[in-house]
Structure 1
Amino acid sequence: MRKKNDLSRYNREIYSALDAITEAQKIAFSPILFQAVQCMRNEGLLSYLDQFNQQGAKIEDIYHNVKLSTYAIQLLLDVALSMHIIYLKDNHYVLGKVGHYLLHDEMTRVNFDFTQDVCYEAMLHLQDALKTGKPSGLSVFGDWKTIYPALSQLPEKAQKSWFEFDHFYSDRSFPLAFPHIKKLKPKHIYDLGGNTGKWAMYYANHDPDAKITILDLPEQIKLAEDNIEQAGLQSRISCYPVNLLTATVLPNQADIWWMSQFLDCFSEEQIVSILSLIHQHMHDDATLCIMELFWDRQPFEAGALSLNASSLYFSCLANGNSRFYHSKVFYQCLNKAGFHVEQDIDGLGFGHTLLICKKR
C-alpha cells in the first residue's frame, strides 16, 4: 500500500515571505502563462528544444526552425525561463524537467487539454456557479442543466478531451481493481453510471462467467450500446436506462453493485439518496463496490492539487454541486445509507481507492 499524502502540510505555513509573493504572482498571471505554454506546445518550440537533450539550442537555430517571428520566439523563451520550463547553459536554451513533462507526461497532457478545451472559457462563470449552485459555465457549450446529457453533443475537441480525461484515470485502475472483484465470484454485476461501457467491457473480456448490466442515463446508454456492439459483447452486457436521482425502482438481480468515478458527480445529499436506493433494492448478501478518487488518499501532493482543481470543473460545468471528496465524507454517506465498509484498498491506478461495502 502506497504512502498517503501528508495532510499535516495543510496545517501550517510552508512559505517564506519571499516565496509567498512569488507564488502569488504565479497565481495572478496563471491564465496568461497557461496560454503561453499552449503556444509553445502548438508551435513546436518545446518539441524543437526537446531533440537536443541537455545540449540545448542556439537562439539563431531556434529562429530558423520554429515558424514564429523572432519577436514571438524571444518573448516565449523569456516567459519559459521565468516559469523554469527551460534554462540557459552556455548561451544554449535547454528544455528543463518541467518542459519535459509538459511534452511527454500523458497525465499532464490530458489535464492540460481538458483545461484548455473543456474548462478554460467556462471558468469565467465560476463565481456565479459557486453562488448559485448551478453549472453556469456550461452555457458556453449550450443550454443544459448538467453536462452529462450533453456529452454526445459537445464540440469535437471538447468531447475528445473530456473522454480522454475521464478514461485516462479510470482505465488505469480497472486492471488493478479487477482481481479484487473477481475474487468475489460475481455472477451478475450492475455497473451504475457505466458511461461508455469501458468497465463493463473490460470485465466481460476478463471474466467469461459474469453477466453485466449498465445502469445510466438514456443518453449515455446509447453511447455504451454502440461500443458494446462494436466489441461483440451484446450477449454478455445489457443496458438499463435510468436516472438514479429520480428512480424509485431498480432491478435487483445483481450480486455486485459497482460504481467507478460515479458518485463524485453528485452532492452529498444526492449520494446518500442514491446509496439508500441501492440499499433498498440489493440483496442482503450482495456487495457494493465503489471505486473513487479521494483527495486525502493521494500519495503525492500533486494528486491532491489536481483533484481539488478538478472539483471546480464539477462546480462550474458538470452540475454545480459535486466534487472529488475527502474519504471521510463517503464513509459518512455510506453510514447514513445503511452500509459499512468491509475493506478499503488504496493506490489503484492514479490514486483510486476501492471501497468494498455490505449492508449493516
Structure 2
Amino acid sequence: MLNKTFSPPGQSAFAARFEAQKIAFGPVVFQCVRYAWKRGMLQALADAGEGGLTIDELAARGTWTEYALKVVLETCLSAGVVYLQNDHYTLDKSGYCVLTDKITQINLDFNHDICYRGLFHLDESLDREQPVGLQTLGDWPTLYEGMSALPEPAKTSWFAFDHHYSDISLPSVLPDIFATAPRRLMDIGANTGKFSCAALAYNSKVELHLVDLKNQLAVADVALQTAGLRNRAHLHSINLLDAGLPLPAGMDVIWMSQFLSCFSETAIAGILQRVAGALAPNGQVLIMDTFWDRQRYDIASYCLINTSPYFTAMASGNSKIYESGDYIRLAERAGLRLLTVRDDIGYCHSLLRFERADAGEANG
C-alpha cells in the first residue's frame, strides 16, 4: 500500500496556516514572479550582485515604473525569490532557479501558455470529464487533435515541455528496446517522429511501424524523410479510441512513451488488450512513462502530480499522471505479465517491460 506525505514532520498549526495562504495566493505569486523574470527584473538584480538595487535605482533605468517594481518585487519577496536588506533588493536562491534553471523555465511557460486560462474551467472539466479549458486554445474535442494547429506561444511551450523530459531519456533506453533483437518494432503515439528517427538510425535492420492520428503522422513523415529514413517506416493513421480499428500484427516490440497517460483507465485497458493481440510470439511491450510514485525526489513527484490537472482541463478530460501500479494492473488484465522495471531514466522516467502472460506456456 502506498503511503506518502509532503508535509514536514511536526509541522505546527501556524506553519500549516501559512502554507495554506501560499495556496490561496498561488496564482498571484505565479504571475508576478513570471513578470519579474520575463521583463528583466530578476536579471537586473542578478547583474547587480550581492549589493542589490533599490527601487529608485531600478526605476532610473526607465524600463519599469516605480509602481510596477514595488508591486512585483514585494510579491517576489514574499515568495522567497528576492530578499530585501537596507532597502536593496537582491536575488535569492529561488530567484536564481527561475532565472537559470531550464526545467523551471519550461514549467513556467507551459503552465502560463497552455494551462493558466484553461484551469479556470477545472471544476467543470472534472464534473464532466471533458477538457472544457481547451476552448481557450482552440475548438477541438481533445488537445491531441489540435496539436499541430496550436497557436503560439502555446505550441512552442507545449513541445518544449514534452520534449525536454523525454529527449534526455531516449538515448539511454535504445539498448533496452533492441535487447531482444526485434525486426518489427511499433511506435504507438509517434508524435513528431523523434523516437522513430532515433530507432531507425540506431538499428539499420529494424522495420518500424508508426501509429498516431493523421495530423501527427504528417509531421512525423516529414521528419523521417528529412532524416532519409522513410523507406523503413510504415505509417498507420489510427485513432486508438476507436476500438474497431485494428493494430498492425506480428510485432516483436511495441513501444509506448508518455502515451498511455493521455487516456482514461478504461481506454488504457482497451489499448493494452489490442497491443497484447498485436504481439508476435515472444514479443514484448515496453512502456516508458513518468510515474509519480517511482520518483527518487519529492520535487519530481510534486511536478508530476500537478501535471494531472492539465490533462483534465486541457488535454483529454479523463487522463492523468498515473501510479506505476495502475499500468501494471491494467496490463495484467489485458493478458500481459510484468518482466522488469527500470527507474531513474533521465529526469523522471521509468521503463516497464511486459510479455504476454501465456508466453511462458507457449515456450514450454
**Which of the five TM-score ranges fits, normalised by the shorter chain?**
over 0.9
**1:259-282 Cα deviation digits (max 9, x unpaired):** 000000111111110000111221
Distance 2:41 2:241 in 1: 48
Counterpart residue number, 1:254 = 251
Cα distance change, pair 7–51 in 1 and its aligned pair in 2 (3 A): farther
**What letter is aligned with 1:176?**
S
Counterpart residue number, 2:291 = 294
Percent identity (aligned): 36
Aligned partner of residue 320 in structure 1, secondary structure: coil
Distance 1:66 1:187 in 2: 63
| Contact 1:43 1:66 (C-alpha < 8 Å) held by counterparts | no
Counterpart residue number, 1:344 = 341
Report the number of matched residues. 355
**1:282-334 Cα deviation digits (max 9, x unpaired):** 11211100001101011111211111111001111111110010111111001
Aligned partner of residue 271 in structure 2, secondary structure: helix
| Contact 2:55 2:88 (C-alpha < 8 Å) held by counterparts | yes
Cα distance, 1:89 vs. partner? Answer: 4.0
**What letter is aligned with 1:229?**
Q
| Match for residue 202 of structure 2 among 165, 190, 206 | 206
Distance 2:216 2:63 in 1: 42
Cα distance change, pair 28–225 in 1 and its aligned pair in 2 (3 A): same
Counterpart residue number, 1:319 = 316
| Contact 2:336 2:356 (C-alpha < 8 Å) held by counterparts | yes
| Match for residue 159 of structure 1 among 155, 160, 185 | 155
| Contact 2:55 2:69 (C-alpha < 8 Å) held by counterparts | no
| Match for residue 92 of structure 2 among 88, 96, 100 | 96
Distance 1:8 1:137 in 2: 30
| Contact 1:248 1:277 (C-alpha < 8 Å) held by counterparts | no
| Contact 1:7 1:296 (C-alpha < 8 Å) held by counterparts | no
Cα distance, 1:113 vs. partner? Answer: 0.4
**What letter is aligned with 2:182?**
P
**What letter is aligned with 2:143?**
I
Mapping 1:1-360, distance limit 5 Å? 7-9=3-5, 15-65=11-61, 67-246=63-242, 247-360=244-357
Cα distance change, pair 119–45 in 1 and its aligned pair in 2 (3 A): same
Aligned partner of residue 256 in structure 1, secondary structure: strand
| Contact 1:133 1:320 (C-alpha < 8 Å) held by counterparts | yes
Aligned partner of residue 231 in structure 2, secondary structure: coil
Distance 1:332 1:86 in 2: 46
Distance 1:54 1:206 in 2: 49
The higher-RCO structure (CA 8 Å, 6+ apart) is 1
Cα distance, 1:99 vs. partner? Answer: 0.6
Cα distance change, pair 153–334 in 1 and its aligned pair in 2 (3 A): same
Aligned partner of residue 340 in structure 1, secondary structure: strand
165-174 or 208-217: which moved more?
Answer: 208-217
Distance 1:12 1:244 in 2: 43
| Contact 1:45 1:66 (C-alpha < 8 Å) held by counterparts | no
Cα distance, 1:92 vs. partner? Answer: 3.1
5+ long unaligned stretches in structure 2: 358-364
**What letter is aligned with 1:274?**
I
5+ long unaligned stretches in structure 1: 1-5
**What letter is aligned with 2:306?**
A
337-346 or 251-260: which moved more?
Answer: 251-260
Distance 2:133 2:70 in 1: 35
Counterpart residue number, 2:362 = none
Distance 1:12 1:42 in 2: 32
**What letter is aligned with 1:280?**
G
11-20 or 346-355: which moved more?
Answer: 11-20
**What letter is aligned with 2:259?**
F
75-84 or 315-324: which moved more?
Answer: 75-84
TM-score normalized by the length of structure 2: 0.93
Structure 1 runs, 4 residues or longer, greater than 6 Å off: none
Cα distance, 1:256 vs. partner? Answer: 0.8
Cα distance, 1:12 vs. partner? Answer: 9.0
Counterpart residue number, 1:3 = none
Distance 1:43 1:66 in 2: 12
Distance 2:196 2:47 in 1: 41
